[in-house]
A and B are shown apart, each in its own frame.
Chain A
Amino acid sequence: MSNAITRDEVAKVARLARLILSDAELDLFTEQLGQVLEHAADMNSLDLADVVATAHPFGLTNVVREDVVIASLDRDAVLAMAPDARDHRFAVPRILGEAP
Chain B
Amino acid sequence: MILPNGWEMVVGLEVHTELLTKSKLFCGCENHFGSEPNTNICPVCLGLPGSLPVLNREAVDFAMRIGMSLHCTIAPSTFHRKNYFYPDQSKDYQISQYDLPINSGGFLDLPDGSRVSIERAHMEEDTGKSTHLGGSGRLAGADSSLVDYNRCGVPLVEIVSGPDIRSSAQARAYAAELRGILIATGASDGRLEEGSMRFDANVSVRQSGAPLGTRCEIKNLNSLRSLQRAIDYEALRQIDLIEGGGVVRQETRHWDENLSETSTLRVKEDADDYRYFRDPDLVDLAPDQGWQDRVRAALPAMPAERRAGVVALLDDVTDAQLDAVEVVIDLGLEKYVHAVAEASGDASLAVARTANELAADLDNVANLTTEAFVTTVLMEQRGELSATQAKTVLAEVLISGADPRDVAAAKGFEQLSADSLGSTVASLIKAHPDEWSRYRDGDDKLAQFFIGLVMKLTRGQANGKAVIAELQARR
Chain A residues near B (Cβ < 8 Å): 12, 15-16, 18, 55-56, 59-70, 72-73, 75, 78-79, 86-95, 97-100
Chain B residues near A (Cβ < 8 Å): 21-23, 27-30, 36-43, 46, 54-60, 76, 84-89, 127, 130-132, 134, 139, 142-149, 219, 252, 254, 265-266, 270-275, 277-278, 280, 282-288, 291
Min CB distance, A52 to chain B, in Å?
Answer: 13
B42 touches A72 (CB 8 A): yes
Closest residue of chain B to A92 (Cβ to Cβ) is B87
29 residue pairs from A and B, CB less than 8 Å apart: A12-B270, A55-B280, A56-B280, A56-B283, A59-B284, A61-B283, A61-B286, A62-B286, A63-B283, A64-B55, A67-B56, A67-B57, A67-B58, A68-B23, A68-B28, A69-B28, A69-B29, A70-B27, A73-B46, A88-B37, A90-B146, A90-B148, A90-B149, A91-B146, A94-B142, A98-B139, A99-B84, A99-B88, A99-B89
- The distance in angstroms between the C-alpha atoms of A86 and B275, with both chains bound, is 33
Residues of chain A lying within 8 A (CB to CB) of residue B265: 98
Residues of chain B lying within 8 A (CB to CB) of residue A86: 146
Closest residue of chain B to A17 (Cβ to Cβ) is B85
Beyond A59-B284, A61-B285, whether A70 also contacts B28 by CB under 8 A is yes
B272 touches A100 (CB 8 A): yes
A95 touches B142 (CB 8 A): yes
B38 touches A94 (CB 8 A): no
Residues of chain B lying within 8 A (CB to CB) of residue A93: 144-145
B145 touches A94 (CB 8 A): yes
Residues of chain B lying within 8 A (CB to CB) of residue A15: 271
Closest residue of chain B to A96 (Cβ to Cβ) is B139
A79 touches B38 (CB 8 A): yes
B57 touches A89 (CB 8 A): no
Beyond A59-B284, A63-B55, A100-B266, whether A70 also contacts B146 by CB under 8 A is no
Beyond A65-B57, A89-B38, whether A55 also contacts B144 by CB under 8 A is no
- The distance in angstroms between the C-alpha atoms of A79 and B57, with both chains bound, is 30
State which of B36, B54, B87 has its C-beta within 8 Å of the C-beta of A63.
Answer: B54
B39 touches A72 (CB 8 A): yes
Residues of chain A lying within 8 A (CB to CB) of residue B46: 73, 78
Residues of chain A lying within 8 A (CB to CB) of residue B271: 15-16
Residues of chain A lying within 8 A (CB to CB) of residue B27: 70
Beyond A56-B283, A94-B144, whether A67 also contacts B29 by CB under 8 A is no
State which of A12, A65, A75, A100 has its C-beta within 8 Å of the C-beta of B54.
Answer: A65
Beyond A69-B22, A94-B144, whether A64 also contacts B89 by CB under 8 A is no
Min CB distance, A85 to chain B, in Å?
Answer: 8
Beyond A89-B131, A95-B130, A99-B88, whether A73 also contacts B57 by CB under 8 A is no
